[in-house]
Homo-oligomer: A and B are copies of this chain.
Amino acid sequence: METTTIKDIARICGVAVSTVSRAINNHPDINDETKTLIMQAIKEHNYIPNNSARNLKRSESNTIAVLIKGISNPFYNNMLKVFENDIQKKKYSFLLHRVEEHEDEIEVALGLEKEKRLKGIVFLGGYFCHSEEKLRQMKVPFILSTGGVSEKIDKNSYSFVTVDDFQESYKMVDYLCKLGHKRIATISAPPDDESIGKLRLEGYMKALEDNKIPFDQKLVRYLKDDTMDTFSMKYGYEVTKELLASTAKCTAIFAISDSMAVGTCKAIFESGKTIPKDYSVAGFDGMDISFYYHPSITTIRQPVEEMAQETIRILFDIIDGRMERERKTFHAELVIGQSTRKI
């Protein structure tokens, strides 16, 4: 099949090429009848305008990049789904870019910003400890979503949407303490996790302290194998198998994500023990599986859809010049399932 060109359309309609161009570009200087005729011919002949200037303009104006660290956490899938939906509703394109563990996300963003002529950037996950000077190099609006941010960074230099991971983790461990548990293990991220893994571990430690329960390093469990996705079911399963085989005794296990908690439950069942009779199990995130697992898993439910929607809403408010920045910390909810009990 021959490709239809703008010249073909001009010939078919008996007008000049420049007239066709005016019709395509919604130029005011063309009468409605001619325009209708041209647009019909374009449609009939499957002509797709291919004008570099036009393409350049378009590619400049309608892409939002989402930079993600820790794509392995299925929690982010739920956010990506909303991002993708909301960005598309705005007639923008959605560019997904994974940032490697060793990479500096700001450097990556600065590169993409130039290359792709982005209109906005969402940083999803990860941990921010960049100098403000570096943040100020960012030319396009950006927002941090559900990651950790170093306290050294001036809170007035960026927008973000998050929950208080420290506080929410504290809430869960405090709940387990109040149920009477004194030996609470945590399925944690490896120590080099400077983001939510660290914050949730700190919440765990503070809750123990406030409940006068001595901290025992042997109850903080993680996997040394760094090839495995930290927040996965398999990770929770493997770590819990090691825990159960060890000399460290516990009555409750707090996994810092629901996926990990599912793996924890499976390891317990496989060892011939039951939940919550032998072990109470708690997770974090409020993913669907925490409700549909059997038993349902006590968790901290993050308002994931709302957080993702607000991320995009704020980003577009900045893009459209309605405001400079916004910082929003969402409240998460302790959801008590069948997996925890009084001891």
**Interfacial residues, chain A to chain B (CB-CB below 8 A):** 1, 46, 48-50, 52, 55-56, 58-59, 63, 71-72, 74, 77, 80-81, 84-85, 88, 93-98, 110-112, 114-117, 133, 136-137, 232-234, 237, 262-263, 265-266, 269, 288-289, 291-294
Q: Are B136 and A233 in contact (CB under 8 A)?
A: no
Q: Are B117 and A232 in contact (CB under 8 A)?
A: no
Cα–Cα, bound, A74→B77 (Å) = 8
Cα–Cα, bound, A98→B133 (Å) = 36
Cα–Cα, bound, A284→B319 (Å) = 43
Q: Are A96 and B98 in contact (CB under 8 A)?
A: no
A269-B289 contact in complex given A96-B96, A98-B85, A115-B55, C-beta closer than 8 Å? no
Q: Which residues of the partner chain B approach A232 to less than 8 Å between Cβ atoms?
A: 288
Q: Which residues of the partner chain B approach A136 to less than 8 Å between Cβ atoms?
A: 1
Cα–Cα, bound, A214→B49 (Å) = 56
Cα–Cα, bound, A63→B97 (Å) = 11
State how many copies of this chain the complex holds: 2
Cα–Cα, bound, A219→B52 (Å) = 56
Chain A binding surface, main DSSP class: helix
Cα–Cα, bound, A262→B97 (Å) = 31
Cα–Cα, bound, A214→B112 (Å) = 59
Listed by A's residue number, 18 A-B pairs whose Cβ atoms lie within 8 Å are A48-B110, A48-B114, A52-B56, A59-B117, A71-B81, A74-B77, A77-B77, A85-B98, A88-B97, A93-B112, A94-B96, A233-B289, A262-B289, A263-B292, A265-B292, A265-B294, A289-B289, A293-B294
A233-B110 contact in complex given A46-B137, A137-B1, A293-B293, C-beta closer than 8 Å? no
Q: Which residues of the partner chain B approach A265 to less than 8 Å between Cβ atoms?
A: 292, 294
A233-B116 contact in complex given A94-B97, A96-B84, C-beta closer than 8 Å? no
Specify the chain B residue showing the minimal Cβ separation from A112.
Answer: B93
Shortest distance between the CB of A235 and any CB in chain B (Å): 11
Q: Are B50 and A114 in contact (CB under 8 A)?
A: yes
Shortest distance between the CB of A80 and any CB in chain B (Å): 8
Q: Which residues of the partner chain B approach A94 to less than 8 Å between Cβ atoms?
A: 95-97
Q: Which residues of the partner chain B approach A111 to less than 8 Å between Cβ atoms?
A: 48
Q: Are A95 and B93 in contact (CB under 8 A)?
A: yes
Q: Which residues of the partner chain B approach A77 to less than 8 Å between Cβ atoms?
A: 74, 77
Q: Are B262 and A292 in contact (CB under 8 A)?
A: yes
Q: Are B114 and A55 in contact (CB under 8 A)?
A: yes
Q: Which residues of the partner chain B approach A74 to less than 8 Å between Cβ atoms?
A: 74, 77
Q: Tell me which of B63, B80, B85, B269 contacts A294 (CB under 8 A).
A: B269
Cα–Cα, bound, A262→B46 (Å) = 46
Q: Tell me which of B59, B115, B292 contacts A233 (CB under 8 A).
A: B292
